[in-house]
Structure 1
Amino acid sequence: MPLKKDIPVRTLPKEFGNGIAIAKVSPDSFWEDEETMQAHRHDYHFFVLQKSGVTVMEVDFKQYRTDKPTIHYQSPNQVHRALKVENIEMFMLIMSNENIPADYLNILQSISPLEPLEIGPEDLEIIEKSYNLCVELYERTTDKLYPSLLRDSCNALIGLLISIHLKYTKSADSLSRFERINKAFFLALEQNFQTLKRPADYATKFNISVSYLNECVKNVTGFSVSYHIQQRVILEAKRLLYHSDKSVKEIAFELGYEDYPYFSRLFTKICGMSAKMFRSKNHD
């Protein structure tokens, strides 16, 4: 029996045994990678500085056009593809989970998903310097402390990129209690949406009542806990419907629904069309 096609996951090539890869890409050195133009996920963290040129990216059904200095972060879970790349000059850093400090991973998880962020001249200058240093160290494979030097320099770069993103995000100290609980809920939701489907499951995690959890989330977002649980499940369903050839029943089971008719009704209610119609419409 042939294997079902699933969402492609691009893994770090074996030659990057230390779990780190970094490169500078110029218009002369860029080549169109057919895999990049097809929707895929990574099993690593992907940090990009686009210095010049034009890119159009699709990330989880949203399109982003970039034609100014911009930083991008794509987490391992996101499905994305390049739609257009012209005269691109950019830096790329790939890091596996085990190479990034736990505190950085926690911050990335708490602020993801991140949209491309346009940066000014000052930020561009220091980020480009940091990337250039990492690229130089990446080539110095004979240095006695090569793995540590490379990992530490790349994490300094990641810390810088996170810091710049945080300039546009409220710090934890300035968050209200409602906002802190809302943030914790979304972090827990991302980790558990396939298995935990009831607001009570999440309220129990925070030792608060369902009504108070709902009050916090609704105060910050305008929508209930149930709404966000359903939206996260349906986003994953859309990913699988669009990028794999698994049946709707298989997708329902993968997302934690043994009751296929219930899942089917839920999808139709959220999307305004059946799962089969969504797949057919988006494959035309």
Structure 2
Amino acid sequence: MKNIPIHQLKDRTDMGMELWRYNLGDMPADDEVMGIHRDDHYIFFVVDGGDASLLIDFEKVTFTRNTLYYILPGQVHQAIDNERAAGWFLAVDASLIPADYREVFEGMLQIQQPCQLDGALMQQSTTLLNLLGQRYNASKTGAFNTPVLLSLLQSFLGIAASCYADACQTAIKVSRPVLLSQQFKRLLVQYMVTVKSPSAYADMLNVSESYLNESLKKTTGLPVSYWILNEVVLEAKRLLYYSSENVKEIAHKLGYEGHTYFSRLFKKSVGLTPLAFRAQYRK
């Protein structure tokens, strides 16, 4: 595999969303769906029976009954034992997700964890998804079908965002350090290849470098420089494990002219050289 495949929602639908129900024992017809890939869109799961696991950026995440989970655009993932679960799969273009909901979904610097739903929230979620499914599979020419479909989608997304906001103890009106950390995360994902200076991110956010550092330490316990390197190293791990690009190609793709310097940074962070990491994880 030269590059990590990117699944694009527009290749499967022109509606900006895709929804289907999966049952215990169901398996995708196409092996590529099960394979390692990224998506250019959000994916939401609501599990109402059994259990399943995903490998997301080298972390195994397990879902049990009555859990909600989402995958961000760009996260590398692979299904594990998903035939043991029942529930709903919903893919959504980022443009359909309101900015305040995205603040919640994208605000975590660490990998998001499954959110356990109580009885009332589970019922509300599944009711909305059932209605959404009926509208999604209905005639697309029906009067007001698209506005109704989008209204149901927004209702589900609002429940999902509120569940994660409550679980993370971050209300929609978040504190300044939390908001700043979320804004930094979005900038980091966007500019990680070209911008690696803490002061540059502080300038983009119109704050001092010391205040940005203070905010990140308050919300995560770690400074700006750690998270910049962490994002670079995470992407390097993805490319080393899932692609056949050599270290020089990966270093260049991540914004480093010299692969020797990149290799030193990687080893300092991971404890292994890039080639040793590739050899260890591809056993």
TM-score by length of structure 1 reads: 0.90
Once residues 215 and 15 of structure 1 are traced to their aligned partners in structure 2, the CA distance between those partners, rounded to angstroms, is 44
Q: What is the aligned counterpart of 1:34 among 25, 28, 31?
A: 31
Once residues 181 and 11 of structure 2 are traced to their aligned partners in structure 1, the CA distance between those partners, rounded to angstroms, is 39
The Cα of 1:195 is off from its aligned counterpart by 1.2
Check whether the contact 2:105–2:164 (CA below 8 A) recurs between aligned residues: no
Letter in 1 for 2:162: S
Check whether the contact 2:19–2:90 (CA below 8 A) recurs between aligned residues: yes
The Cα of 1:280 is off from its aligned counterpart by 1.0
The Cα of 1:100 is off from its aligned counterpart by 3.0
RMSD: 2.1
The Cα of 1:54 is off from its aligned counterpart by 1.8
Once residues 280 and 200 of structure 2 are traced to their aligned partners in structure 1, the CA distance between those partners, rounded to angstroms, is 35
Partner residue of 2:79? Answer: 82
Partner residue of 1:245? Answer: 244
Does 1:158 pair with 2:157? yes
CA deviations 1:55-80 (Å, max 9, x no partner) are 12111100122232111111111111
Check whether the contact 1:53–1:86 (CA below 8 A) recurs between aligned residues: no
The Cα of 1:95 is off from its aligned counterpart by 1.4
What is the SS of the residue equivalent to 1:35? helix
Moved more, 228-237 or 215-224: 215-224
The Cα of 1:88 is off from its aligned counterpart by 2.0
- CA 1:27–1:264 in structure 2 vs 1: closer, same or farther (change >3 Å)? same
Check whether the contact 1:20–1:151 (CA below 8 A) recurs between aligned residues: no
The Cα of 1:32 is off from its aligned counterpart by 6.2
Q: What is the aligned counterpart of 2:124 among 117, 123, 126?
A: 126
The Cα of 1:253 is off from its aligned counterpart by 0.9
Partner residue of 1:171? Answer: 171
Q: How many pairs were matched up?
A: 280
Letter in 1 for 2:252: F
The Cα of 1:174 is off from its aligned counterpart by 4.9
CA deviations 1:12-46 (Å, max 9, x no partner) are 36452222211111226544652233211112211
What is the SS of the residue equivalent to 1:110? coil
What is the SS of the residue equivalent to 2:2? coil
Moved more, 274-283 or 7-16: 7-16
Partner residue of 2:147? Answer: 148
Letter in 2 for 1:121: G
TM-score by length of structure 2 reads: 0.91
Once residues 21 and 91 of structure 2 are traced to their aligned partners in structure 1, the CA distance between those partners, rounded to angstroms, is 12
What is the SS of the residue equivalent to 1:241? helix
The Cα of 1:166 is off from its aligned counterpart by 1.3
- CA 1:249–1:157 in structure 2 vs 1: closer, same or farther (change >3 Å)? same
Partner residue of 2:133? Answer: 135
1:248-263 matches, cutoff 5 A:
248-263=247-262
The share of aligned pairs that are identical, in percent, is 32
Moved more, 165-174 or 40-49: 165-174
Moved more, 99-108 or 223-232: 99-108
The Cα of 1:161 is off from its aligned counterpart by 1.2
The Cα of 1:221 is off from its aligned counterpart by 2.3
What is the SS of the residue equivalent to 1:173? coil
Q: Which runs of 4+ in 1 moved over 4 A?
A: 28-33
Q: What is the aligned counterpart of 1:23 among 14, 20, 25?
A: 20
Check whether the contact 1:52–1:88 (CA below 8 A) recurs between aligned residues: yes
- What runs of 5+ residues in structure 2 fail to find an aligned partner? none
Check whether the contact 1:172–1:180 (CA below 8 A) recurs between aligned residues: no
